[in-house]
């Protein structure tokens, strides 16, 4: 190492500047480089630069980082970039490596002594380079910064700047080293308050629909490869195995098409959409029963789910004796609704029955943890990699529904309060007394009324402005015999506060205003629920 | 994708429905329009039957097995069918034999338990509750089957009475446990007719009793004199101890009225079980313990029957055998899953190897000749083992080698003789393995029980077994054996059917004669046997050896000769038998040795495959744009959005700011255009944003991240690649 450092060649010509990211790659690929254990060169570059310069060049903003990243893509596009990359495994790289080592040393020992000669040289080489490449960038930056209106971007910049001062994040992206590096906790990622402008669900879906897939043909080709296995799957199923597909991408279409073929050949197919929120194992058992007996069979099993499965299995025994079988298709067998051990145990019992052929898909990276050895033996799975690269549109929209889709659409900003969510409210309400429900109904209905008057959009949050005065609520409560005294009202409200179902504030006149902090849409569904329930 | 639109249409609102019965569209059914009815209303078995009958029988057949046409579609229909039937027949045979073995596996335990149940009576156990502890071993997957067997045995075969099997799932509270016991004991016997009587109390309280009142069982016992009531708990460890204690005390209180017998399945050990219960409870129990056969033993039996036996035509090759047994040893430890793995080997072999059809006609020369088409012959000529055959034939019989290459007829006859040869090899192998195991069990029983046959199997097939320590040890120990042990060995080996049985018997009688003539006590010794000594220096050893040699009598010398010659014979025999299977022509057909489908199908790596798909999408998509960088291509703007986001995610620390992620994402995706100032209402920007959200959602759905509760607008990283 020592010797190498000494014969650093002079800096390469400025026009041959490799991207910083490509250097990152070189470093990671080179054996024994210190970069495995510490921050990105990108960051190191910032660190190594004189801090005054950084502060002085104020437009060195998020954009700067973006440019860095960008280098990679622009470089990567050109065919000759590789050659350039290789050709430049030279001074630049070595100097970066030196600096990284320095920074590690600093990290470890926390020494603040000056650069030694070698490092100085490396520093100079790097700085020369950097000045050449980044100045033009920053010029452009400045021009743009002036022209653009200061708006939502501004806080973002502030945030970015802060981030740049934080210690270097990491370059290792794999394995335990990455884990320890990245969880060290000193690299506070960002204190930016900038948020993304929200997208309404409508726009979101419209835009996604409009945009075709990047790799349309490749994805289709991939699907065709999987489809070539249909016969094999059928054979495996017929031999008493059950099939589980894994891999990235929605396997819904793939499975539906398989099932279409199956059904065309006369087998009975029960489809279970695991990703649908309210799914229960009971529904599946009922559906299997219906598939066996036909509609309106009128057979009722015990209340106990274990009794139920026994009944279904007996039915299937008879069914099997008739030489028939049921193909049970479960999309996302690892989805939230089926994630209980009981549901999986029952499914396994069902799948183990010779008259049931289970074909399922799993998506979560930890799906395998659902099963212990005895369930797994019952399932008797053969696993197939079915990476499709098809977007999980249905699955995620169903998954997001439970947390409120806006949550995702706005990147989780709108609904911190919404996170406890409308769904949670329904659960809480279900466990409360009728009076409490009625009280909440009054509150929501009144709030909705005033929101309606204002003509606000569906995904607008309920706020103080639409709230109900405490006195009004009490009056209404009295009228409907919900509460006989203020004390009773307060007890009822206490429960709501605890679950963050209501918020309250004293307004200017000093009277208390209460409101439910949910979006209009959610409020409507809550109201509906209360009325129906 | 035309199909896609159809699919979406027909799924329509159904995709948000939790579960439903799939009804094919008329479109999909145009080819077989009649069937629609059968599918939507499956209650009409008669109509369905008709449909199946009306179908072309041939089509039905292909549908049933779904075997593809191989050899670039040159394989004709009948051969495909023959292949399927060969599979069916051979596997059925193996399955039957395996099942027989499996049925035997627990036979001893079942017998003992059943006898215990039958014999238990108040006179025998006095006041105490008769209890059987069944030590089931750690493989919980097998417990269900075992208890089912116990159930059938006691209830239907030996008719001792009723069995109520309880699992830990029932142990939520005592009431439920009792209800279940009562239901299981009374209901089954009485059948459908009397169900009302039992159901009625279930609805609430019957006229006099709660539905969890054990006296219901007492009534039942009055109607069924002589019947025992067995309460079996399958997984005692997981059963709520408090409930178990209560249950035991209740059973104990009723034991003089109702002939209760308790069976407890214990996966760990008796000690642990005793520790779990208070002494006062344990004092109520009295009974016996039953051991279930160890996994290794049953596994070995199944292996010998299903793989080693000469009746099994298709054998596992060493690679796939190693894979399967390693998985057994480290993970599954279940005979059932081994059988399934074996079945999958059969399935793959017959499904994908066109030549496997030969296995179906090994004894039938004419049919074999008929079934092998020109394409088959061509395929045989492409086998590596054919190449070996020809190359070895050339120096001696050049004309024959030419014949093999040019004439299909001579090739077919070679195939026939090769298949005979393969079978002979297999049966020789089975015999030799058997002999070796016997030898090992006599001379070093310790080792024999430690290393099961199936772990030696792959070494033997590779032909390197005779150089392994296990083999050398066995031979050495044989040399050292004293005359009594050796005699035992000879007698054991003579019992086995082999070419040596007579010579073994002869040697045995000789040794016996020698032993009889010997005056000194302690049997004959060989020169190889050093008496146990703690003085282990070379010199002292040599001195003792010399002493020993000089002390050897003439009988000893004769004995020595016999031992040496026998051992020599055995060694040669084993070396002859344990030859590598790859020497055989057509070994590709008689030995299934493909590692890949097994490792992928039974030991998948779902997480790495998702990670790979996202970090190097080019591997799956096979597109030029994403593959440009080779091994460590890094992020490219052309990759799918989720892949871009994932790679950015990998670089991020444990807590990720969404805005930071977005800016990085934007830059990578837009490439050059990222420099342009973002316009709030820019459609393109918004679209990218939508893609970002979707990618984020996908990563969350896959389980890579979740929203931080502590910090607004931040994500928590949940998974590290390669960890």
Question: How does pLDDT run across B8-26, given as a tens digit for each residue?
Answer: 444 456 777 778 888 876 5
What's the pLDDT band for B53 if we cut at 50, 70, 90? very low
Q: Please report the pLDDT score of residue B550 as a whole number.
A: 63
Percent of chain B with pLDDT over 70: 81
pLDDT digits (tens, 9 = 90+) for B161-175: 888 888 887 777 888
Say yes or no for a CB contact (<8 Å) between B614 and A248: yes
pLDDT at A316 over 50: yes
Q: What are phi and psi of B706, to 5 degrees?
A: -145, 165
Q: Check: CB of residue A141 under 8 Å from CB of residue A64.
A: yes
Furthest CA-CA distance within chain B:
111
pLDDT at A12 over 70: no
Domain termination residue (choose one: B247, B272, B292): B292
Is residue B660 assigned to a domain?
yes
Q: Which of A414-428, B32-46, B332-346, B516-530 has the lowest mean pLDDT?
A: B32-46
* A67 CB-contact burial (10 Å; exposed 0-12 / middle 13-18 / buried 19+): buried
CA of B704, closest CA in chain A: separation in Å?
8
More confidently predicted of A128 and A257: A257
Q: What are phi and psi of A262, to 5 degrees?
A: -60, -50
CA distance B201 to B690: 59
Same domain, B584 and B617: no
Same domain, B141 and B271: yes
Q: How many domains does chain A have?
A: 3
Sign of the torsion angle spanned by Cα atoms B16, B18, B20, B22: positive
Range of the domain at B150: 107-292
Q: Check: CB of residue B147 under 8 Å from CB of residue B232.
A: yes
More confidently predicted of B204 and A317: A317
Residue for token digits 């200061």?
Answer: A150
What's the pLDDT band for B466 if we cut at 50, 70, 90? confident
Is residue B681 assigned to a domain?
yes
Q: Dump the DSSP string for B256-300.
A: TTS-EEEEEEESS-HHHHHHHS-HHHHTTEEEEEEEPPPHHHHHH
Is residue B420 assigned to a domain?
no
pLDDT digits (tens, 9 = 90+) for A67-98: 343 333 333 334 444 444 444 445 455 555 65
Domain termination residue (choose one: A370, A390, A410): A390
Chain B residues closer than 8 Å to A197 by CB: 680, 689
Q: Please report the pLDDT score of residue B103 as a whole number.
A: 80
Q: How many residues does chain A have?
A: 533
Say yes or no for a CB contact (<8 Å) between B658 and A412: yes
Residue A260 has its nearest CB partner, among B19, B24, B707, at B24
Same domain, B636 and B582: no
Same domain, A163 and A54: yes
Which DSSP symbol is given to B712?
A: T
Q: Please report the pLDDT score of residue A513 as a whole number.
A: 87
Q: Please report the pLDDT score of residue B72 as a whole number.
A: 78
B226 touches chain A (CB under 8 A): no
Domain termination residue (choose one: A182, A206, A234): A182
Same domain, A246 and A385: yes
pLDDT digits (tens, 9 = 90+) for B643-683: 899 988 888 888 888 888 888 888 888 876 666 655 556 77
Is residue A161 assigned to a domain?
yes
Same domain, A34 and A157: yes
Q: Which of A97-101, A458-462, B190-194, B417-421 has the lowest mean pLDDT?
A: B190-194
| Chain A residue with Cα closest to B708 | A412
Q: Please report the pLDDT score of residue A94 as a whole number.
A: 57
More confidently predicted of A229 and B74: A229
Chain B residues closer than 8 Å to A265 by CB: 32, 63
pLDDT at A133 over 90: no
Same domain, B645 and B677: yes
Q: Which of A89-93, A218-222, A348-352 has the lowest mean pLDDT?
A: A89-93
B710 touches chain A (CB under 8 A): no
Interface test with B, best of A74, A266, A385 (most B CBs within 10 A): A266
pLDDT mean over B417-443 = 88
CATH number at residue A491: 1.10.10
- Residue numbers of A between 381 and 400 with CB closer than 8 Å to B: 382-385, 387, 389, 391-396, 398-400
CATH number at residue A240: 3.40.50.300
Q: Which of A133-147, B303-317, B509-523, B694-708 has the lowest mean pLDDT?
A: A133-147
Range of A172-176, B55-59, B567-571 with top mean pLDDT: B567-571
A283 touches chain B (CB under 8 A): yes
pLDDT at B327 over 80: yes
pLDDT at B461 over 50: yes
CA of B723, closest CA in chain A: separation in Å?
5
Is residue A190 assigned to a domain?
no
| Selection from B583, B589, B593, B594 nearest residue B419 by Cα | B589
Chain A residues closer than 8 Å to B714 by CB: 189-190
Is residue A150 assigned to a domain?
yes
pLDDT at A122 over 60: no
Q: How many domains does chain B have?
A: 4
Residue B623 has its nearest CB partner, among A218, A362, A393, at A218
Q: Dump the DSSP string for A21-80.
A: HHHHHHHHHSTT-GGGGSB-HHHHHHHHS-HHHHHHSTT-SHHHHHHHHHHHHHHHHSTT
| Selection from A464, A460, A476 nearest residue A502 by Cα | A464
Contact partners, residue B712, CB within 8 Å, separation at least 6? A412, A413, A416
Same domain, A50 and A140: yes
pLDDT at B40 over 60: no
Same domain, B583 and B672: no
CATH number at residue B218: 3.40.50.300
| Selection from B653, B212, B449, B715 nearest residue A183 by Cα | B653
Q: Please report the pLDDT score of residue B694 as a whole number.
A: 85
Q: How far is C-alpha A206 from the chain's CA centre?
A: 20
Range of the domain at A74: 2-182
- Residue numbers of B between 48 and 67 with CB closer than 8 Å to A: 48, 51-52, 63-67
Is residue A408 assigned to a domain?
no
């Amino acid at each position: 190492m020592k010797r190498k450092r000494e014969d650093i060649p002079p800096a390469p010509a400025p026009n041959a500047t490799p991207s910083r990211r490509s250097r990152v790659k070189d470093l990671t690929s080179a054996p024994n480089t210190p970069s495995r254990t510490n921050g990105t060169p990108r960051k190191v570059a910032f660190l190594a630069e004189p801090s005054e310069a950084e502060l002085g060049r104020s437009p060195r903003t998020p954009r700067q980082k973006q440019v860095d990243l960008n280098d990679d893509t622009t470089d990567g596009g050109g065919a000759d970039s590789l050659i350039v990359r290789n050709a430049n495994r030279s001074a630049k790289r070595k100097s970066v490596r030196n600096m990284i080592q320095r920074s590690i040393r600093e990290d470890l020992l926390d020494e603040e002594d000056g650069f030694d000669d070698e490092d100085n040289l490396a520093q100079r080489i790097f700085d020369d380079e950097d000045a050449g490449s980044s100045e033009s960038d920053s010029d452009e930056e400045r021009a743009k910064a002036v022209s653009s209106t200061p708006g939502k971007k501004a806080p973002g910049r502030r945030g970015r700047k802060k981030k740049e001062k934080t210690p270097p994040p990491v370059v290792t992206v794999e394995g335990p080293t990455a884990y320890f590096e990245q969880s060290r906790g000193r690299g506070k990622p960002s204190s930016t308050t900038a948020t993304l402008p929200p997208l309404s669900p409508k726009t979101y879906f419209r835009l996604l629909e409009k945009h075709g897939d990047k790799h349309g043909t490749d994805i289709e080709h991939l699907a065709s490869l999987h489809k070539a296995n249909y016969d094999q799957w059928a054979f495996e199923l017929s031999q008493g195995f059950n099939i589980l597909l894994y891999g990235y991408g929605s396997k819904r279409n793939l499975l539906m098409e398989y099932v279409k073929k199956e059904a065309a050949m006369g087998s009975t197919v029960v489809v279970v959409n695991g990703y649908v929120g309210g799914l229960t194992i009971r529904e599946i058992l009922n559906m299997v029963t219906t598939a066996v007996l036909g509609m309106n069979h009128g057979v009722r099993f015990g209340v106990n789910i274990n009794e139920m499965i026994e009944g279904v299995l007996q039915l299937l025994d008879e069914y099997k004796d008739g030489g028939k079988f049921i193909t049970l298709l479960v999309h996302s067998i690892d989805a939230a609704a089926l994630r209980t051990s009981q549901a999986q145990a029952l499914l396994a019992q069902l799948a183990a029955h010779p008259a049931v052929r289970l074909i399922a898909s799993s998506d979560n990276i930890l799906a395998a943890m659902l099963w212990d050895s005895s369930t797994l033996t019952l399932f008797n799975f053969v696993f197939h990699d079915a990476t499709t690269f098809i977007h999980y549109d249905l699955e995620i929209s169903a998954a997001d529904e439970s947390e409120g889709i806006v949550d995702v659409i706005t990147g989780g900003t709108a609904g911190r309060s919404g996170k406890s969510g409308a769904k949670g409210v329904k659960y809480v309400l279900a466990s409360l007394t009728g009076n409490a429900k009625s009280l909440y109904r009054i509150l929501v209905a009144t709030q909705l009324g005033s929101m309606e008057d204002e003509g606000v959009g569906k995904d607008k949050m309920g706020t103080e402005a639409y709230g109900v005065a405490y006195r009004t609520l009490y009056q209404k409560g009295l009228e409907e015999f919900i509460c006989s005294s203020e004390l009773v009202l307060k007890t009822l409200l206490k429960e709501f506060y605890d679950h963050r179902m209501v918020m309250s504030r004293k307004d200017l006149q000093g009277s208390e205003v209460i409101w439910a902090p949910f979006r209009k849409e959610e409020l409507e569904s809550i109201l509906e629920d209360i009325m129906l329930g | 994708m035309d199909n896609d639109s159809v699919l979406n249409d027909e799924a329509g609102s159904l995709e948000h429905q939790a579960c439903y019965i799939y009804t094919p569209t008329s479109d999909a059914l145009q080819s077989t329009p009649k069937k629609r009815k059968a599918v939507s209303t499956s209650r009409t078995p008669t109509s369905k039957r008709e449909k199946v009958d009306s179908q072309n029988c041939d089509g039905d057949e292909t549908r049933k097995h779904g075997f593809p046409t191989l050899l670039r579609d040159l394989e004709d229909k009948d051969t495909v069918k023959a292949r399927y039937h060969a599979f069916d027949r051979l596997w059925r045979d193996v399955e039957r034999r395996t099942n027989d073995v499996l049925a035997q596996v627990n036979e001893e335990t079942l017998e003992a338990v059943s006898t215990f149940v039958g014999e238990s009576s108040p006179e025998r156990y006095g006041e105490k509750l008769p209890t059987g502890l069944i030590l089931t071993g750690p493989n919980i997957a097998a417990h269900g089957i075992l208890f089912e067997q116990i159930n059938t045995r006691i209830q239907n075969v030996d008719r001792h009475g009723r069995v109520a099997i309880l699992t830990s799932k029932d142990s939520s509270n005592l009431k439920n446990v009792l209800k279940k016991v009562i239901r299981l004991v009374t209901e089954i016997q009485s059948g459908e007719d009397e169900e009302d009587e039992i159901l009625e109390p279930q609805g609430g309280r019957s006229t006099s009793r709660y539905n969890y009142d054990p006296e219901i069982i007492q009534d039942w016992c009055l109607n069924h004199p002589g019947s025992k009531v067995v309460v079996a708990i399958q997984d005692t460890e997981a059963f709520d101890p408090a409930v178990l204690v209560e249950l035991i005390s209740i059973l104990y209180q009723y034991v003089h009225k109702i002939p209760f017998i308790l069976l407890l399945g214990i996966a760990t050990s008796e000690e642990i079980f005793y520790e779990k219960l208070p002494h006062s409870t344990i004092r109520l129990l009295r009974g016996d313990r039953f051991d279930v056969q160890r996994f290794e033993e049953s596994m070995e039996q199944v292996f010998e029957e299903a793989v080693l036996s000469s009746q099994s035509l298709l054998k596992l090759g060493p690679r796939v055998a190693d894979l399967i047994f390693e998985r057994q040893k480290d993970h599954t430890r279940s005979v059932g899953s081994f059988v399934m793995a074996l079945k999958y080997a059969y399935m793959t072999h017959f499904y994908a190897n066109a030549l496997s059809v030969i296995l179906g006609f090994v004894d039938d020369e004419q049919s074999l000749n008929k079934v092998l088409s020109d394409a088959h012959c061509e395929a045989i000529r492409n086998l590596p083992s054919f190449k070996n055959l020809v190359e070895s034939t050339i120096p001696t019989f050049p004309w024959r080698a030419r014949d093999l290459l040019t004439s299909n007829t001579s090739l077919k006859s070679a195939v026939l003789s090769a298949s005979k040869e393969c079978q002979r090899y297999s049966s020789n192998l089975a015999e030799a393995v058997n002999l070796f195991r016997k030898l090992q069990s006599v001379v070093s029983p310790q080792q024999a029980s430690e290393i099961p046959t199936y772990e030696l199997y792959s070494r033997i097939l590779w032909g390197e077994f005779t150089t392994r320590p296990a083999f050398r040890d066995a031979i050495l120990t044989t040399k050292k054996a004293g005359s009594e042990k050796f005699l035992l060995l000879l007698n054991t080996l003579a019992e086995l059917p082999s070419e040596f049985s007579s010579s073994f018997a002869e040697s045995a009688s000789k040794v016996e004669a020698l032993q009889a003539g010997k005056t000194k006590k302690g049997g004959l010794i060989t020169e190889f046997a050093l008496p146990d000594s703690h003085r282990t220096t070379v010199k002292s050893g040599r001195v003792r050896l010399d002493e020993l040699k000089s002390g050897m009598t003439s009988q000893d010398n004769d004995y020595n000769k016999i031992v040496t010659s026998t051992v020599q014979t055995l060694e040669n025999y084993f070396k002859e038998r344990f030859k590598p299977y790859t020497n055989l022509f057509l070994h590709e057909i008689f030995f299934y040795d493909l590692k890949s489908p097994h490792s992928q199908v039974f030991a998948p790596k779902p997480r790495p495959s998702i990670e790979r798909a996202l970090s190097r999408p080019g591997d799956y998509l096979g597109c030029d744009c994403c593959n440009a960088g080779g091994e460590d291509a890094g992020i490219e703007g052309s990759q799918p959005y989720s892949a871009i986001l994932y790679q950015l995610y990998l670089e991020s620390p444990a807590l990720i700011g969404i805005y930071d992620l977005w800016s990085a994402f934007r830059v990578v995706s837009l490439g050059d255009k990222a420099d342009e100032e973002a316009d709030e209402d820019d459609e393109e920007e918004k679209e990218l944003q939508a893609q970002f959200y979707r990618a984020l959602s996908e990563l969350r759905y896959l389980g890579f991240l979740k929203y931080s509760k502590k910090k607004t607008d931040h994500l928590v990283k949940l998974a590290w690649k390669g960890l």
